[in-house]
Structure 1
């Protein structure tokens, strides 16, 4: 399968590139500084400032599935939703599936299911609300878009650099917690979930994952 990873040198993006290559896929890694990616005979690298993308459709040429893992600097969070819309437009034009690795704020709180994680101070402290709000706006942008070839993956409350254990639990719109009551996952295990969804789509539009154990 031909996979393009936008944001390929971030914590999640780097792990997704490595996982997809390990499974035998052909990968295009797109980032502002793609030279930091480890060379591979099935990896093509492209330089692009994803916060100010120009013409995107050519980057979707010969792409079966694109992964968007994008973060903005504090103060620029409001740019996330309109930038995502441009990627949706390009995916629609080129007929590629799009997996958006978004934020946990759009999930329902496990302790108060009528409340979004964004609005639950147990999970989102006041300084982090703009980032969480941007993730919710990003999901709403996907839901409003006429193209239906997307899936939005919300990580747990804690998304950390860490190893691949191979053990995760998948859910939909409710924030999940592990056996210790903590909502977390490593970059290695989130990556497994992303590539699993690419290879065998589950059919849901909004999904989430959590570590097990």
Structure 2
């Protein structure tokens, strides 16, 4: 498959890139600064600013799916606004390019810990992650209003660890997955496996899913 990847130099995006290449997919990586992503076989790096839908559309046209691991930067003082602006532009650009499939890796903050209570709204949610989590929640809400794209939103578990894929993870829906009474965790390698599995064998179209051991 021809996959367009946004955020390929980040923690999650780099894992998605590696997993996609291992499976033999051709990847076009959208980069604001192409010099940040070294050349490698199977990867076409294209300059594109994902805050602009027209640039996204030009870069993703002709692809089978768009994978977004977009992050506006945890230290960005305008994180909330810029994340939403980018999320809107990515969806708009994907739609304008005629690409139906959009997979977005968001956050765990919008997962439910109890009926009507999302993780981001709990008292102990870390303040340094809150604006990003609120933005990701709003991005999911916007996708849920989308009627044209075959979107999927992937929420990692509460604990997303560095490390290679090891297998044995479970999939869930809109609730925080637990493991022996504690929030579940998963490696970024297995998160990438779950995302690429969804690309190849869609099972959560116009839905969110999560995962964990």
Within-5 A mapping of 1:22-61: 22-51=22-51, 55-61=55-61
Answer yes or no: is the 8 Å Cα contact 1:9–1:34 preserved in 2. no
For structure 1, the 5+ residue unaligned runs are: none
Q: 1:118 aligns with which of 117, 120, 135?
A: 120
The answer on whether the counterparts of 1:68 and 1:101 sit within 8 Å (CA) in structure 2 is yes
Q: Which residue of 2 aligns with 1:175?
A: 176
Higher deviation after alignment, 136-145 or 2-11:
136-145
Q: Distance in 2 between matches of 1:67 and 1:86?
A: 14
Report the counterpart of residue 97 of structure 2 in structure 1: 94
User: Aligned equivalents of 2:92 and 2:129: distance in 1?
Assistant: 29
Q: RMSD of aligned C-alpha atoms?
A: 2.0
1:3-18 to structure 2, matched below 5 A, reads 3-18=3-18
**8 Å contact from structure 1 (residues 6, 70) kept in 2:** yes
* CA distance, structure 2, for counterparts of residue 55 and residue 48 of structure 1: 5
Residue 57 of structure 1, CA deviation: 1.0
C-alpha deviation, 1:45, in angstroms? 1.0
Unaligned runs of 5+ in 2: none
Q: Count residues in correspondence.
A: 208
Deviation at 1:154, TM superposition (A): 0.8
Match of 1:154 in 2: 155
Alpha-carbon offset, residue 36 of structure 1 = 4.5
Aligned residues of 2:54 and 2:93 also touching (Cα < 8 A): no
Runs of 4+ in 1 over 4 A off after TM superposition: 51-54
Any conservation in 2 of the 1:108–1:114 contact (CA below 8 Å)? yes
Report if aligned partners of 1:7, 1:50 keep a CA contact under 8 Å in 2. no
- Note the 1:77-88 alignment, pairs <5 A: 77-88=80-91
Counterpart-to-counterpart distance in 2, 1:167 and 1:29:
29
Q: TM-score, normalised by structure 1?
A: 0.88
Q: CA 1:120 to 1:23, structure 2 compared with 1: closer, same or farther past 3 Å? A: same
Q: Distance in 1 between matches of 2:153 and 2:204?
A: 11
Once the two structures are TM-superposed, the CA of residue 54 in structure 1 deviates from its matched residue by 5.2
Q: TM-score, structure 2 length as denominator?
A: 0.88
Is residue 85–residue 145 contact of structure 1 (8 Å, CA) maintained in 2? no
